[in-house]
Amino acid sequence: MASLRDDLIGHLLARDYSSALKLLQGGRRPVRTLMGLLFHEEPIVRWRAVTMYGHFALAEPDVVKTQLFRILYTLSEESSIVGWASAQAIGEIARVAPELAREDIRPVIHFMDDDEVSLPANRNTVQLAGSIWAIGNIAETLPEMAFEMGPVLTRFIDDPDPEVRGLSIWAICRISYKKAAEKLQKMLDDSAVIEIYSYDELNTVSVGQLARKALDKINGTGGACL
C-alpha cells in the first residue's frame, strides 16, 4: 500500500491538484507532509509542492496562514536548514492570495538586499534564487512590491552564477523594468542554460534568450518572458 507521502507525490506529478487537496484536508499530518516535499530531492516534486501551496491557499486560507510562519522560519539563520523551495512556496501563496501573504512575502523578496547573504563571497545561492523567482512570480498580483526590487535585480544581471543572472533577467522581464535595458543588451550572447519553473513545468532556456525576451517586453515588441 502506498504511503500518504507517495500518494501526495503521485497526485502532484500527475497535476491532479484536486485529489491532492482532498488529502490535505485530512488533518495535520498531510499538511506537514506537503511542507516536507518542499525539501524533496527531485526538483519537479519540490516545484509541484510549490504550486500546490497556491491551490491550498485558495481552499484553506486559515490553515495556510498558520503554515506561513513555519515556512518562513526555514529561511532564517536560526533554523539551521536550507530553505530549498520555501521562498518559492511563499511567493506562490502571495501570487494567488496576495492579502494572505502580503507581510510574509516582504522578507522573502528583500532577502537579496543584504550583501552579507546575497553577494558571491558568502551567499546562500539557494535562497537567493528562491527570492528572485518569488519577485517575478508576484509581478502581476503585487506589482508595486515587485517593481521596487528592479534596481537590486539589475545588479545581478551579470552575476557569475548563470541561475542567478538568468532568474534576475526573467524577473526584470516580468516587472518590465526599463532601466535595466542597457545591461540586458550586453547579455544577448550569453549561452548559459538554466531551468525556470512556470505554468507547472520546468522550462529550459538560455540566459541570452531571456535577455532578448526581456528587451522585447520592455520595448513593447513582445509579451512572454519565457
3-state secondary structure of 74: coil
Q: Residue 78: which pLDDT band, with cuts at 50, 70 and 90?
A: low
What confidence tens digit (pLDDT) does each residue in 116-148 have? 767 777 788 899 999 999 999 999 999 999 999
Average pLDDT, whole number, for the chain? 94
Per-residue pLDDT at 213: 98
114 pLDDT band (50/70/90 cuts)? confident
Read off φ and ψ for residue 65, nearest 5 degrees.
-60, -40
Q: Determine the residue type at 97.
A: A
Residue 174: left if φ>0, alpha if ψ -120 to 50, beta else—which one?
A: alpha
Does the pLDDT at position 38 exceed 80? Answer: yes
Annotated domain spans of the chain? 43-219
Residue identified by cell 532556456 is 205
Query: pLDDT-derived band of residue 12, with 50, 70 and 90 as boundaries?
Result: very high
| The domain over range 43-219 is classified in CATH as 1.25.10.10 | yes
Helix axis angle for 28-37 and 4-13, nearest 10°, is 60
- Side-chain-side CA neighbours of 222 within 13 Å: the count stands at 16
The span from the first CA to the last CA of the chain, in angstroms, equals: 40
Whether pTM > 0.75 for this model: the answer is yes
CA gap 124, 82 in Å, rounded: 9
The answer to whether residue 17 scores a pLDDT higher than 60 is: yes
One-letter identity of residue 85 = A
pLDDT at 80 over 60: no
Largest CA distance in the chain: 57
Within 8 A by CB and 6+ apart from 117, the residues are: 111, 123, 124, 127, 128
Per-residue pLDDT tens over the stretch 171-206: 999 999 999 999 999 999 999 999 999 989 999 999
The least confident of 60-69, 72-81, 161-170 is: 72-81
